[in-house]
Amino acid sequence: MLAIYPGSFDPVTYGHIDVIERALRIFGRLVVAVAHNLEKTPIFTVEERLKILRAVTREIPGVEVDGFEGLLVDYARRRGANVIVRGLRALSDFEYEFQMALTNRKIAGDIETVFLMPSEQYSYLSSRIIKEISALGGDVSAFVPDIVARMLKAQG
């Protein structure tokens, strides 16, 4: 079964990778789909995020990395997936994710949303926090793959 794990992944964290690995244990095949989100101002371009994700998932069988624009459920249908995977770190994520899942269900009742929690050690991680630490000159190497840490450091 094919599932879609969408997000901005700006930047990808060890929490994202943990959710990818958990989803693969359930679904076997997973498309990590980078959204072209017009509402966010990304630190990395879509192309950079795709490159990073391909590098960090290269040795994880069953993962494909792709980008998409438009409605997620339309993308899922084009790909032949009937499951959307979303990560939940804390209760604060739930309200937004719940609204999105119910909206997607109303638009496309044949596509299910499955919520996965990362390991406790990653439950506090967010891309926003990583960007803040990096912008203030902090070391993010404990939270993100090496390629991400290097690219963030290069941005100064």
Q: Is 89 a catalytic residue?
A: yes
Which is catalytic among the residues 29, 54, 79, 89?
89
Q: For residue 90, what are the domain limits?
A: 2-155
* Segment 20-47, tens digit of pLDDT: 999 999 999 999 999 987 676 899 999 9
Structural domain total, the chain? 1
Q: Is 36 a catalytic residue?
A: no
> CATH number for the domain including 27?
3.40.50.620
Which is catalytic among the residues 8, 16, 22, 134?
16
pTM of the model: 0.94
CA separation for the pair 40, 24 (Å, rounded) = 28
* Segment 112-135, tens digit of pLDDT: 999 999 999 988 888 999 999 999
CA separation for the pair 111, 90 (Å, rounded) = 24
Question: Which run of H or of E encompasses 92?
Answer: helix 91-107
Phi, psi dihedrals of residue 136, rounded to the nearest 5°: -90, 10
Sheet with 63-68, side-by-side order of all strands? 63-68, 29-35, 2-7, 83-87, 112-116
Which is catalytic among the residues 8, 22, 49, 127?
127
pLDDT bucket at 56, cuts 50 / 70 / 90: very high
Which is catalytic among the residues 40, 78, 128, 150?
40
27 backbone φψ class: left, alpha, beta (φ>0; ψ -120 to 50): alpha
Beta bridge partners of 92: none
